[in-house]
Structure 1
Amino acid sequence: MHAWIPGRRGAEPIVMAEVDRPRPSPDEVVVSVEAYSINRGETFLLEAPPPAWRPGKDVAGTVVRAAVDGGPEVGRRVVAHPEQGGWAQEVAVPVGKVAVLPDTVTTTTAAALPLAGLTALRMIRALGPLAGRRILLTGASGGVGHYFTELAAGQGALVTAVVSTPQRGRRLIERGATELVDDVEKAEGSFDVVAESVGGSTFPAAFSRLHPRGLFLWFGQASRTPPTMDFFDWRGGASATLRKFSYVDSDIPDGEDLATLVRLVAAGRLHAEIGRVESWRKTPELVRALVAREIRGNAVLTVD
């Protein structure tokens, strides 16, 4: 079968290659991939890929081989979150990382759900009750930001979204954001929660906007620049809680949370923000566009 694999350093970031078909373990299904989404973290890994690693964590398609230990039957449409290898015609996925799709949710929409949706859902869960709380969200124009904004606003939170340009943030207002700003310094007042994913100078600037006993949720470093904090700078969260967040640290299996996301989408309570949909033959082009921050929300590729 065909799959995208990391290219050689200095050349294309990925190349199409012939690889072996999946050899599933008893607890894995084999999914015929119909669409997949690209995540920024995968684009970073392509720069120095681990041995034997292949990209692809967000996929949707049809089960072509059922697991010995149960799970969806052959022919069922599913969304899945494999550890790797999803940018391919087929991928093996543990049944605990798969959720069945209803007819009302397309594979294109479903492919944009796993990593971004799981991150947003678990961030919401980590924050507790949100009604009436003010939240400052940096790096808000990506897939996580759109899902998080809609979920938080749906619980009554007041979300101020930080985006680079109004164009990149226009859908966030539709999803329930109270305010858009293009710089953390322009956000007015203090915030009960800061959700920060940029790093660098944005990190201390966002911390300075935190309520003295607020919660600072650090969930990424998209700038790839480590932040520097001055302990004696008492602006903002003077005695705040700083929590480093990882979406993989969850007591709820991926499959169960994927099923929750699918139900929310089917009910019209959660919407995927898909910036581009292209044939998987254009994957290298979209990888470059995503790195250059030319895509709002998710980039989805369809396997033809």
Structure 2
Amino acid sequence: MKALLPTGDPREPVVLADVPEPTPRPDEALVKVEAFSVNRGETFKLEAPAPGDRPGKDVAGLVVQPAADGSGPNGIARVVGHPMAGGWAEYAAVPTDALAVLPDGVSALQAAALPLAGLTALRLLRTAGPVLGRRVLLTGASGGVGHYVTELAAAAGAEVTAVTRDAERGARLIELGAAAVVHDLADAPGPYDLVLESTGGPSLATALAKTARRGTLIWFGQASRRPATLDFFAFFDGPESAVIRHFHYLDADTSLGDDLAALVRLTAGGRLHPEIGRIADWADTATVLTDLRERRIRGKAVLTLA
């Protein structure tokens, strides 16, 4: 079968190559991939790939071989899945507890845009706790996670201020329920009960200064790729007794499959709208990855397999 393999060359980070078809473990289903999405964080990993790396975490397609242990779909089914690797290929072996069945109303393109960004948003807000009536600041809101967080948090009753440099993206975030959009973090008025920070670098200290007394800042990314420095005494100047919490989306008490099913239900019900900034044939994946790394794509990028 064909699969995309990393090259280590930033000018062409992946190439199509022939590889053996995966042999699923007993708890894995074999999925014929119809579409997959790529994430900006994956572009960074491709800069120095480890030997044998097979990228790809967000897939949608058709189960062509159910799991041998009887778990998961027991026949041919349209699914969305979140394997930890190997999804940028014609076929992927996906653990059944990381699969969700798709209804007719959710396309493969929509589904492929859900897993990593949607799971991150869903679990991030669960970590934050009830947001009804709370003032929420979201940095780095232009990407897929930012869109999902904004829509889910606003629907749950939060007053969301989103930070994005892109005016067009800002207008869309307002449509998705943001109460306000600022193009520079320094312009966010504050204070905020909850700050969701994904930029890192100097933005972390600036975001912390916007946090209310006894508020919470959840640090879930470092898109700037710059280290952050915090001054302990700055807490006394503003967010006295505030909490800083690290977040990783895989640290959860629910299964990936259950949470994917929740995202699918929200999408099917018109309560969650995957924002797809580019759709392309998977032969163009290298170009899409480069554009995503250089922030030339807003929202999700989805690749299709003919």
TM-score, reference length from structure 2:
0.97
Q: Is 2:173 the partner of 1:188?
A: no
Q: Compute the displacement of 1:11 (Å).
A: 5.2
Q: Is 2:292 the partner of 1:287?
A: no
Residue number in structure 2 paired with 1:19: 19
Candidates 278, 281, 286, aligned match of 2:280: 278
Q: Compute the displacement of 1:127 (Å).
A: 1.1
Residue number in structure 1 paired with 2:264: 262
Residue number in structure 2 paired with 1:155: 156
Q: Compute the displacement of 1:238 (Å).
A: 1.9
CA contact (8 A) 2:192 2:215 kept: yes
The gaps in structure 1 that reach 5 residues or longer are none
Aligned ranges for residues 159-170 of structure 1 at < 5 Å? 159-170=160-171
Q: 1:213 to 1:303 in 2, by over 3 A?
A: same
Write the distance in 2 (CA, Å) between the matches of 1:223 and 1:190. Answer: 23
Residue number in structure 2 paired with 1:142: 143
Q: Is 2:66 the partner of 1:66?
A: yes
Aligned ranges for residues 45-84 of structure 1 at < 5 Å? 45-70=45-70, 71-84=72-85
Aligned ranges for residues 201-212 of structure 1 at < 5 Å? 201-212=202-213
Q: Is 2:31 the partner of 1:31?
A: yes
Write the distance in 1 (CA, Å) between the matches of 2:196 and 2:11. Answer: 36
Deviations 1:145-201 (A, max 9, x none): 000100000011000000012123221111100001011111113000000000111
Q: Compute the displacement of 1:14 (Å).
A: 0.8
Residue number in structure 2 paired with 1:227: 228
Write the distance in 2 (CA, Å) between the matches of 1:210 and 1:60. Answer: 39
Q: Is 2:117 the partner of 1:116?
A: yes
Residue number in structure 2 paired with 1:94: 95
Q: 1:67 to 1:209 in 2, by over 3 A?
A: same
The alignment yields a C-alpha RMSD, in angstroms, of 1.0
Write the distance in 1 (CA, Å) between the matches of 2:221 and 2:145. Answer: 11
Residue number in structure 1 paired with 2:5: 5
Write the distance in 2 (CA, Å) between the matches of 1:300 and 1:173. Answer: 24
CA contact (8 A) 1:63 1:73 kept: no
Aligned to 2:237, what secondary structure does the other structure show?
coil
Q: Which amino acid aligns with 1:2?
A: K
Write the distance in 1 (CA, Å) between the matches of 2:113 and 2:303. Answer: 10
Candidates 248, 251, 273, aligned match of 2:250: 248
Sequence identity (%): 57
CA contact (8 A) 1:200 1:226 kept: yes
Q: 1:128 to 1:56 in 2, by over 3 A?
A: same
Deviations 1:73-125 (A, max 9, x none): 33200000001010100000110000000000000000000000000000111
Q: Compute the displacement of 1:254 (Å).
A: 0.0
Write the distance in 2 (CA, Å) between the matches of 1:244 and 1:284. Answer: 32
The gaps in structure 2 that reach 5 residues or longer are none
Name the count of aligned residue pairs.
304
CA contact (8 A) 2:35 2:303 kept: yes
CA contact (8 A) 2:11 2:290 kept: no
CA contact (8 A) 1:5 1:54 kept: yes
TM-score, reference length from structure 1:
0.98
Write the distance in 2 (CA, Å) between the matches of 1:35 and 1:9. Answer: 24
Aligned to 2:37, what secondary structure does the other structure show?
strand
Write the distance in 2 (CA, Å) between the matches of 1:84 and 1:262. Answer: 21
CA contact (8 A) 1:62 1:74 kept: no
CA contact (8 A) 1:209 1:235 kept: no
Q: Which amino acid aligns with 1:191?
A: Y
CA contact (8 A) 2:137 2:195 kept: yes
